[in-house]
Structure 1
């Protein structure tokens, strides 16, 4: 089989990359050039999409955000704030033989790994999306690995049978308080609720207003999702989800809440009504991206989700490892 050439894509080739994302089983909105460019601009970080070519045909690749730490360390990661996974993708192999698919995966990932190792990065961190299971071309070659989780809510099941007693009580409280839900794509409302939630913790929101303005514009133009809100009978939004459409699923990407209304059960009402809405539109499952947050796990377990693993790999240079140790030591002493 002909060899694989790996190189950085130029912007005019991004549409070709997006076709790989669309067709790949593990391709997600977070892999698309539009999402990546919004993150790049909002966070002022460098973006590179590396493509893997066979005989001039794009057959895989990986997006990376690159930053320099104090002009000394060069760090590359496939994720950024509020983008939990992205990472390598390969063009789907039509063969029904498992051995053929594994061979194809390794024939693309091995050259990609070798190429990344030659780019002078002091640290490389790749987080694969759920469904991408074979990370051995990295782990067999000295990269460290870790497992992460997300939750899938099966929309083919009966939600009422799966609810815990606590979630039922929250739904009752929300109903008695007159809360209701609806789709409402308004960035100002979302950012106001997000700011309230983070102000309560005395910290800045993880992404600037510009990011959400561009995201809502993309949602309107491409029909890639919607905002779902819980509101009072007077029409005041008190909680919201931003939902992004995936392959046969909706990704509950981020949630926010006015802390003053937490006791009224707005989150439980959001999830319950979203479940019914998405089921009526023939979505297969809800991907609830909060399984790595201990404070939220107990809440979502009240809906009886399935725990789904996904994986990350990383490779650190010796000087990056030393810098991490010194950083941790210094901050411990400061504390």
Structure 2
């Protein structure tokens, strides 16, 4: 299964309709390319790319999952279940720290462990690991 990614430069327009059209043009090209070259595709988008109409218009079966970015110090957890609040407080007390990192190998290691627990092989691998395994 080929794995790849693309970087989409957001539209610089101040008009929301033009920005939406910009993303639709890009997703339309991607959807058409994938449809003509593959029978099956799993696509993970950045949170700001949430319009999947291009895929629906081509008859793709879609299943959407969302990622949310939250500012934890400013978040009101009162509506969460008691157990979830307990787990969050426990993580904070035990010194769990959330930080921004551009080192994908850290995330890859955590994903690998999660997939291994589920009995699934993770096919994607950071470039630096691929180089060392050649």
Q: CA RMSD for the aligned pairs?
A: 4.3
Instruction: State which of 118, 124, 133 in structure 1 corresponds to 2:41.
Output: 124
Which has more helix, going by share of residues?
A: 2
Query: Gapped runs of 5+ residues in structure 1?
Result: 1-44, 50-62, 64-87, 215-335
Which has more strand, going by share of residues?
A: 1
1:107 aligns with 2:28: no
The Cα offsets for residues 274-326 of structure 1, whole Å up to 9 and x where unpaired, read as xxxxxxxxxxxxxxxxxxxxxxxxxxxxxxxxxxxxxxxxxxxxxxxxxxxxx
Return the TM-score normalized by structure 2.
0.53
1:97 aligns with 2:11: no
Which residue is equivalent to 2:132? none
1:181 aligns with 2:101: no
Label 1:108 to 1:170 Cα distance change in 2 as closer, same or farther (>3 A): closer
Quick one: distance in 2 between partners of 1:170 and 1:113?
39
Instruction: State which of 23, 33, 54 in structure 2 corresponds to 1:137.
Output: 54
Secondary structure of 1:134's match? coil
Q: Is the 8 A contact 2:23 2:49 kept in 1?
A: no
Quick one: distance in 2 between partners of 1:168 and 1:139?
41
The Cα offsets for residues 38-72 of structure 1, whole Å up to 9 and x where unpaired, read as xxxxxxx644x4xxxxxxxxxxxxx3xxxxxxxxx
Secondary structure of 2:23's match? helix
Q: Greater relative contact order (Cα 8 A, min sep 6): structure 1 or 2? A: 1
The Cα offsets for residues 230-250 of structure 1, whole Å up to 9 and x where unpaired, read as xxxxxxxxxxxxxxxxxxxxx
Q: Which has more radius of gyration?
A: 1
Label 1:163 to 1:46 Cα distance change in 2 as closer, same or farther (>3 A): closer
Written as runs of structure 1 = structure 2, the 5 A alignment for 1:126-165 is: 126-157=43-74, 164-165=81-82
Quick one: distance in 2 between partners of 1:103 and 1:154?
29
Label 1:182 to 1:91 Cα distance change in 2 as closer, same or farther (>3 A): closer
Shift of 1:171: 5.3
Shift of 1:152: 4.4
Secondary structure of 1:137's match? helix
Written as runs of structure 1 = structure 2, the 5 A alignment for 1:1-335 is: 46-47=2-3, 49=4, 63=5, 89-119=7-37, 121-157=38-74, 164-166=81-83, 167-168=85-86, 180-181=94-95, 198=117, 206-207=121-122, 214=129
Return the TM-score normalized by structure 1.
0.26
Shift of 1:100: 1.1
Quick one: distance in 1 between partners of 2:40 and 2:49?
22
